[in-house]
Structures are given as structure tokens and as C-alpha cells.
Amino acid sequence: MKILFGCLLALLLSGCSYNRVVDYTQGGKPDDFPVLKAVGYAVIDIQPGPSQSEKMLQAIRASKMDAYRELAEQLNGQQVRGQSSYRDLTQTSNSLDVSVAGVVRGARVVASYPRGNTYATEMELDTRALYNINQLMAGQF
């Protein structure tokens, strides 16, 4: 029964996986080029630094990195790994690991501003520019 339950759980979770890579070098030019948008946030007061100005600069950098992370999620997806252990139909442990990896080229900062104790950075990525960059790097432009 435990083995059947474990196999069923693994089958259901594997159906939720999604691994997509954008490759514009194969198959010609896409029909449309959406503009991807992302917003990154960082709390100002928890940033390291001796002064409020230094904390603000750290928050600006952190919010930009968070926006890049969000764009990487949209381009490459997330890798999610989960594991649960059961004994006598009772859960004994549970873990979840989520990671994002990828290269983001051609993104630009649209706006960067403080809002209360949080700093926000809005970014966008025109996939037409990304297509052109990839064509240039592949020597096909």
C-alpha cells in the first residue's frame, strides 16, 4: 500500500513539472514578440550598512536582482523538487526546493522607486530584442 501510494504521488507530481527553454535559433522567426514585465522588491531597513543611505543603495541593488530573478523565471521556468516521507500513513518529513537558473539579456529598468520601507524596481524585456541578440550571437543577423 505504501509503495502504491508513493508511486501514485510521484506520478502526480511529475505531471506538474515544466521545463522550457527558449531557443530562437531553430525553426525561424516567431510570429509575435511579447514584452515580459517583472517587479523586484527589497526591504530597506534589513539591508546591511552603517547608514540609511547605504541601506537604500543595497535595497536598490537587491530589488533589481529580484526583478532579474523574476524575468529568469518567465524565460526559463522554475525547477521544483519536493520530497515527502510517510510512515504508517503519517507524514514524517517534507521538503521543497525551488531554484531558478538562466541568463537574462536585453532587459531594461523601467522604474525604480521607494515605497514606504520597501524599494521596488520594474523591469521589462522585449523578446524581439532578445531574438535579435540571440541571432547576433549565433552569427545569423
CA distance 57 to 96: 32
Q: What mean pLDDT, rounded, does the chain reach?
A: 83
> Which residues in the chain belong to E strands, given as ranges?
35-43, 79-87, 90-99, 108-115, 118-126
Domain boundaries, the chain: 2-137
pLDDT at residue 90 is higher than 60: yes
This prediction's pTM: 0.69
| pLDDT single digits (tens) 15-60 | 554 444 555 455 677 788 899 999 999 999 999 999 999 999 999 9
